[in-house]
Amino acid sequence: MLRIRVGLAACGLALAVVLASVGIARAQNELKSPTMDAIKKRGELICGIDTGIPGYAFQDSKGEWQGLDVAYCRAIADALLGSPSKVKYIGLTSKVRFSVLASGEIDVLIRDSELTFVRNTQLDLDEPTFNFYTAQTFMVRKSLNVAHAKDLNGATICLLTGTTLETNIADYNRANNIKINTLLFDKPEEAFAAADAGRCDGYTDDGGSVAAARSTMKKPDDWMFIPETIGGLQPLGPFTRLGDQGWSRLVKWVQNAMIEGELLGITKANVDQIKQSTKDPEARRYLGLEGDFGKLLGVDNDWSYRIAKDIGNYGEVYDAYFGEKGLGLPRGMNNVYSKGGLFVTASWH
Amino acid sequence: MVRRPSPRARAAQWLLLAAVVAVAWLLGSIAAETSGRRHATLGFGYLADPTNFDIPFRLIPWAVGDTYARALLVCVLNTLLAAAISIVVATLLGLLVGIMRLSTNWLVRNIALGYIELVRNTPQLVQIIFWYVAVLQTLPGPRQSILLPAGVLLNVRGLYLPSIVADNRAAMLWPPALALLLVMPFVWRVPWRGFPIGAKSLLLIPVAIMLFLAGIDHTDLPALRGFNIAGGVQVVPELVALCAGLSIYSAAFIAEIVRAAILSVQKGQREAALSLGLRPRQVLSKIILPQALRVMVPPITSQYLNIIKSSSLGAAVAYPELYEIFAGTAMMQSNREIESIILLMGVFLSINLIVSAFMNWYNRRVALVVR
Amino acid sequence: MSDAVAGQRLPTRGDLMTPRAVDWVRRNLFSSIFNSILTIVVMALAALIVPPLFRWAVTHATISGTTRAACTGDGACWTFIRMRFPRFFYGNYPTDQYWRADVAFALLVALCAPVLRDGTRHRWMWVLLLLVVFPALAAVLLWGGVFGLSYVDTSLWGGLMLDIIASFVTVAGSLPLGILLAFGRRSQLPVVRMLSVGYIELWRGVPLLTVLFMSAVVLPLFLPAGVSADRLLRAMAALVLFNAAYMAEVVRGGLQGVPSGQEEAADSLGLRWWHVQAFVVLPQALRIVVPGIINTVVDLFKDITLVTIIGLFDLLGTVEQALKDPAWLGFATEGYVFSAMVFFVCCSALSAYGRSMERRLAKGQ
């Protein structure tokens, strides 16, 4: 009881702090981002992530969060607070994610979530950028000899509830006049187990999650991805609350910085060496040696250098979790544009 | 109570009411404002909107594009189905284990005790997931189905029973068959030559069965077609796992209730019955159980209510009940959190009130019969 | 009956040939034809089930090693559990701060002992310590941020520790609320009575899962803009509100069990209503309902696993997390069996205490 009272008192205090900081920000008439101010005041970023899915966000045996989405959270904290470890992770199920973001409990939601029209408009959420391109992929047993999604007519597919996947299947069924049956799970672990046991003929999710699902199968080699995807391209990315442009901008440029790092060939290993020796103006701007690119975002000028040093570029992060060191998913669309992928970044000018 | 409340206390209670109303109003206005920020007003009009999702398992027809209201109905029926099966199984199993607990056989008695202790002291959620993942998912795939007698197939996708296809006469013959079964308990008591008809009324059952069989055109046997078994009736493993989890858990509590109730029937009753020459099994069924029933009804009612509420755990094993669909898919598609949760709680509350009202009525009846 | 069973001694190897053992077997296992058949069937079933289970769990199981590669046999892989053991108990609590959780737990045990033991003097003082002083101490210890203790956020709390904390907070919060509601339900003031009945029936009529879901999804929408409450606190608040209804019914049973003569006698002495209830009726009622309260606590402790569905990592949640670690895939059965066993040990201990309490009460009356 007392703890709850302490909690309530803390909430009251937090409210006062938020109100006060808003007031101060207004008085100084500087960059107006209540979220960034609140994070700085708090000294940590509150990042909403998946409750656990290999690739995007999972806990290693030491209990540390790992994954592509987690690396993004760490990069944001690194840029804003100067340390990648100043993050509080909140594991969210697909059902609760958006209301938790709307309530202000988390600063940013990076939870393998598809950016959609309705989420942007009806839910009033900002979708600053993309961090993973994928499409709804089906994973089936090789022994079923399925080559095309239409061949799944009559099959049962396991998937998670509270996602866009169900709508896609319903649409696909209607468009092709077939019937793909679904089995809806609340949490991935039971869904994976059901697919593995043969309760369903296959599993569907975005490409990255399906790769994660395959990695949890008893014999991953027995499973294949159907090359055809449904529901079109599914870009995943971070969500923020609409109305705090300064904050959304930072979230966007942190992702841009990881892409830019890869385009410039700057890696965790060579960043210090490049910083000392480079004469390339682009790299110099990126590493904070020229220009005032940090200040304009509301952080210091070393922000992108820190990301490169502590987190690495996008390619490194991808490789660690989805690439050869992780789930073994080819880069494909998730490469930078110069290598045939979809990732571009606005210029560092 | 001895003393009547003071006028001051009487006045104060209205203050309490005012405070409660004020808090409710405050919360409501905040929620309305929050929804307003999210481009939505509170209201249940969306129930008439079309949906765009499939419900994998249902008792009544459902098609993508039906309304949210129909989705709610489908889910309520799914919830009720799981709860009804679990209640029947839990009662029978609980009765059995409760009697086993009192067996003179040491082994039987202690196995019942072990069952009760193990089941009562582990979380229900773990049990349901255990049945689903560790037991039902070890069954073979559809191509290696286990063939059971009478065309029944068993595999990881479920239990496939032959289904019955009615012919034209069924509409004429099945209602009277049902009616015969329904009137049977009343016929039982009809006096005939000075005594109630009693067990002779059981003769109505074969008549009803014959009427029922006459209405059947053919049976549809399940067989592998394409990916899945087609034909017949599929009992999905999600339903089995949920019902197993619910009934095995509740049966342990019911067993303890049964045991306590049997023990509460006085020892003298048993001895008197035995001395009249009744056999031990007759003593149990004719003397002890009817009297124990009276003691059992109220606590068993609360177990039934627990089963209904716990059926929401079906969400963990993909059984499409109210919580899974209505606080999941439907909520996400309509973006109506508050309305969904109000509907969800409202439905559970009403089901619970109806069941407890019925059990209260039953309790009064039992209490009157046994004086 | 359980007394009788407990009183009987299992035959040991040395006894088997003695007439007493033969007599015991005949009386308890083969007293009639029906019983003999039952015994044989049960033994056959046991012979079918027990050896493979034993093989899986013990003889063919692995517990040594530090990586997945150590598990090569067809038995259980307890190595997986052993490697994650601290996680299952402390969640993501910082490893070098485990002692804080240990101290808090030791304090809890130390304070519970005198409260639950028979014949403690000044029991009320201990109860007060447990319900008021201890939570403050534990909050300081676990949260930190003062007295040189580093701050540990609730998002790092997890494992069995979270189950214990949530149970304790829920009991400490719902018991007082439940007592108030129980009095409310017996009150002669119609509005108070109706509000209490409404509250109790409302919460008892809905599943805990929906209540927790409400705390995770809907409750934030009822908070004014800019205010947010810790999600663990929200879940615990929901648990308190929910459980108070059940506590109220248990306490009401106790209040009804207090002979009305007690109240009348106190009344005739001219004591005020509140004094009569607080010093005469309630202490007697609470003594009667201790077993009932323990039962409610056991149910509550088991039900806290439902918080995994809203994304909090209690013991079951941390186990399910571990199941998804790419380095340790495929040990779901071990994980679920382990968590079931931990819960079984905790709940059995509590229920056993509740039963002994019940027996003592029965003897006292």
A305-314 tens-digit pLDDT: 999 999 999 9
Residue A27's pLDDT is what? 41
Which residues in B lie closer than 8 A to residue A124 (C-beta atoms)? 37-39
Report the candidate in B261, B254, B348 with the shortest Cα–Cα distance to residue B304.
B254
> Could you tell me how far CA A127 lies from the centroid of its own chain?
11
DSSP letter (8 states) at residue B227 = T
pLDDT band at A319 (very low <50, low <70, confident <90, very high): very high
Contacts 24+ apart (CB under 8 A), B181-187: B181/B205, B181/B208
The pTM score is 0.82
Which is more confidently placed, A46 or B198?
A46
Q: How many CB atoms lie within 10 A of CB B256?
A: 17
Which residues in C lie closer than 8 A to residue A322 (C-beta atoms)? none
pLDDT band at B16 (very low <50, low <70, confident <90, very high): confident
Report the candidate in A174, A175, A192 with the shortest Cα–Cα distance to residue A183.
A192
What size, in residues, is chain C? 365
Residue C1's pLDDT is what? 39
Distance CA C307, CA C165 (A): 13
pLDDT band at A25 (very low <50, low <70, confident <90, very high): very low
Say which of B52, B318, B335 has its CB closest to residue A184: B318
Contact A181 B54 (CB under 8 A): yes
Which B residues, 283 through 322, put their C-beta within 8 Å of a C-beta on chain C?
305, 309-313, 315-316
Residue A1's pLDDT is what? 43
Report the candidate in B207, B239, B192 with the shortest Cα–Cα distance to residue B85.
B239
Residue whose structure tokens are 């005790």: B113
Residue B367's pLDDT is what? 65
Which is more confidently placed, A199 or C225?
A199
Which B residues, 118 through 137, put their C-beta within 8 Å of a C-beta on chain C?
118, 120-127, 129-130, 133-134
pLDDT band at B276 (very low <50, low <70, confident <90, very high): confident
A48 min Cα distance to partner chain C (Å): 11
Q: What ipTM was assigned to the predicted interfaces of this complex?
A: 0.82
Residue C13's pLDDT is what? 52
Joined tokens for residue B358: 């019925």
C171-203 tens-digit pLDDT: 889 989 999 998 888 888 888 888 898 898 889
Q: Which residues contact B355 (CB under 8 A, 6 or more apart)?
A: B301, B304, B305, B308
pLDDT band at A73 (very low <50, low <70, confident <90, very high): very high
What subunits touch chain C, counting only 3 or more CB pairs under 8 A? Answer: A, B
User: Phi and psi (nearest 5°) for A63?
Assistant: 85, 10
A164-190 tens-digit pLDDT: 888 889 889 988 998 898 888 888 888
Distance CA B193, CA B176 (A): 27
Which residues in A lie closer than 8 A to residue B142 (C-beta atoms)? 198
B222 min Cα distance to partner chain C (Å): 31
Asked whether residue C37 carries a pLDDT value surpassing 60, the answer given is: yes
Q: Helix (H, G, I), strand (E, B), or coil: what is residue B102? A: coil
Helical (H) or strand (E) element with A308 = helix A303-310
User: Phi and psi (nearest 5°) for A108?
Assistant: -150, 145
Contact A184 B133 (CB under 8 A): no
Q: Region A214-233: what's the mean pLDDT?
A: 86
Which A residues, 316 through 335, put their C-beta within 8 Å of a C-beta on chain C?
326-327
For chain B, the first-to-last Cα distance in angstroms comes to 29
**What percentage of chain C carries pLDDT values higher than 70?**
91
C263-275 tens-digit pLDDT: 778 777 777 777 7
Residue B1's pLDDT is what? 45
Residue C365's pLDDT is what? 54
- Crossing angle of helices A245-264 and A314-321, rounded to 10°: 80
Helical (H) or strand (E) element with C103 = helix C98-116
B168-219 tens-digit pLDDT: 777 777 788 888 888 877 777 777 777 777 677 777 888 888 888 777 777 7
- Cβ contact A297:A245 at 8 Å: no
Asked if C56 is an interface residue toward chain B (Cβ–Cβ < 8 A), one would say: no
Asked if C145 is an interface residue toward chain A (Cβ–Cβ < 8 A), one would say: no
Range from A290-294, B174-178, B208-212, B255-259 that averages highest in pLDDT: B255-259
Q: Which residues contact A120 (CB under 8 A, 6 or more apart)?
A: A126, A127, A242
Asked if C35 is an interface residue toward chain B (Cβ–Cβ < 8 A), one would say: yes
User: Phi and psi (nearest 5°) for C152?
Assistant: -120, 115
Query: Helix and strand tally (H, E) in chain B?
Result: 12, 10
Burial letters for B194-216: b for 16+ Cβ neighbours within 10 Å, e otherwise?
Answer: eeebeeebeebeeebeebbeebe
Burial of B43 (0-12, 13-18, 19+ CB in 10 A): exposed
What size, in residues, is chain B? 371
- Cβ contact C302:C166 at 8 Å: no
pLDDT band at A24 (very low <50, low <70, confident <90, very high): very low
pLDDT band at A15 (very low <50, low <70, confident <90, very high): very low
**What percentage of chain C carries pLDDT values higher than 90?**
8
Q: Which residues contact A241 (CB under 8 A, 6 or more apart)?
A: A35, A101, A102, A104, A124, A125, A126
Contacts 24+ apart (CB under 8 A), A73-76: A73/A45, A73/A47, A73/A49, A73/A108, A73/A110, A74/A310, A74/A311, A75/A254, A75/A255, A75/A257, A75/A258, A75/A307, A75/A310, A75/A311, A76/A45, A76/A47, A76/A108, A76/A250, A76/A251, A76/A254
pLDDT band at A48 (very low <50, low <70, confident <90, very high): very high
Asked whether residue C6 carries a pLDDT value surpassing 50, the answer given is: no
Asked whether residue B37 carries a pLDDT value surpassing 90, the answer given is: no
A19 min Cα distance to partner chain C (Å): 8
Cα nearest neighbour of B57 on chain A: A183
B66-114 tens-digit pLDDT: 899 999 999 999 999 999 999 999 999 999 999 888 888 888 888 899 9
Asked whether residue B151 carries a pLDDT value surpassing 90, the answer given is: no
How high does pLDDT run on average in chain B?
83
Report the candidate in C103, C79, C81, C106 with the shortest Cα–Cα distance to residue C93.
C103
Report the candidate in C213, C232, C214 with the shortest Cα–Cα distance to residue C222.
C214
Joined tokens for residue B170: 């069924």
Q: Helix (H, G, I), strand (E, B), or coil: what is residue A72? A: helix
Least confident range from A21-35, A107-121, C135-149, C238-252: namely A21-35
Asked if A67 is an interface residue toward chain C (Cβ–Cβ < 8 A), one would say: no
A90-117 tens-digit pLDDT: 888 887 888 888 878 889 999 988 888 8
CA distances in angstroms from C8 to B173, C3, C36, C38, C359, listed in the order given: 60, 9, 20, 20, 18
Residue A67's pLDDT is what? 92
How high does pLDDT run on average in chain A?
85
Asked if A23 is an interface residue toward chain C (Cβ–Cβ < 8 A), one would say: no
> In the beta sheet, which residues pair with residue C123?
none
- Cβ contact A159:A185 at 8 Å: yes
